[in-house]
């Protein structure tokens, strides 16, 4: 019988070969306007074959725009999959060959009209490790200057302001459910309590 006295400490584990799968083949099964779905054949560690369906994604960025008074800029946007308006930090997909920071600058400007003089990289997060290769780079932006927005056709959203405490309150009440924004709150909290210090550039 398994018991946690037998379980190793995560920090001591480095060996992956008993878990790793090897890609053998890829077949496109759906290419829509938004979603690109493939079915891969993989060899499991014991040599048996299995199929893995996943969504190919170019990667994305999220920006946490921070005003001088500490408030942050968020968006309210109707998200059809959830059938509700969702509160999120500004975010968007990378264009081909676009660097993460260039994408962050562009999305911030397009969606909110803001430019930022100071940027700090927090980290990457994977929204759904089971079925997409999407990674979202999280950036902090400070020293903001207002400008013109340039939203995509049909991109409807409210830009608004909130304290970080206000967002955390919403999350505790179940009103803020977006995974990238919740991850952003974890980074902001790590900064506030001194366990992480942004490196501004």
1 touches its own copies (CB under 8 A) = yes
- Of 24, 25, 82, 117, the one binding its own copies (CB under 8 A) is 82
> For 101, phi and psi rounded to 5 degrees?
-70, -40
- Of 96, 97, 146, 194, the one binding its own copies (CB under 8 A) is 146
- Of 61, 90, 178, 198, the one binding its own copies (CB under 8 A) is 178
Longest dimension (CA), the chain: 63
32 touches its own copies (CB under 8 A) = yes
Q: Using a CB cutoff of 8 Å and minimum separation of 24, what contacts does 178-182 make?
A: 178/86, 178/87, 178/88, 179/125, 179/127, 180/62, 180/88, 180/89, 180/91, 180/125, 180/127, 180/136, 180/138, 181/62, 181/74, 181/87, 181/88, 181/89
What residues pair up with 85 in beta bridges, in sequence order?
78
Interaction residues for its own copies, span 153-172 (CB under 8 A): 154, 156-162, 166-168, 170-172
Interaction residues for its own copies, span 96-135 (CB under 8 A): 112-114, 123-135
141 touches its own copies (CB under 8 A) = no
Cβ at position 119, least distance to its own copies in Å: 17
Cβ at position 97, least distance to its own copies in Å: 21
């Amino acid at each position: 019988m398994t018991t946690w006295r037998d379980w190793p400490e995560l920090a001591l584990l480095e060996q992956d070969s008993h878990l790793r799968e090897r890609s053998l083949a890829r077949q496109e099964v759906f290419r829509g306007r938004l979603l690109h779905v493939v079915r891969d054949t993989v060899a499991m560690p014991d040599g048996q074959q299995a199929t893995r369906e996943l969504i190919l994604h170019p990667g994305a960025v999220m920006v946490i725009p921070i005003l001088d008074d500490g408030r942050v800029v968020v968006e309210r946007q109707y998200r059809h999959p959830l059938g509700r308006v969702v509160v999120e930090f500004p975010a968007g997909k990378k264009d081909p060959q676009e660097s993460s920071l260039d994408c962050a600058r562009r999305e911030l400007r397009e969606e909110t009209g803001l430019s930022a003089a100071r940027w700090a990289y927090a980290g990457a997060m994977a929204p759904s490790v089971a079925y997409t290769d999407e990674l979202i780079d999280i950036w902090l932006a400070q020293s903001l200057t207002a400008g013109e927005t340039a939203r995509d056709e049909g991109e409807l959203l409210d830009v608004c302001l909130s304290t970080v405490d206000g967002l955390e309150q919403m999350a505790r009440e179940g009103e803020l459910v977006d995974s990238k924004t919740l991850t952003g709150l974890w980074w902001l909290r790590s900064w506030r309590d001194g366990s992480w210090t942004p490196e501004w550039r």
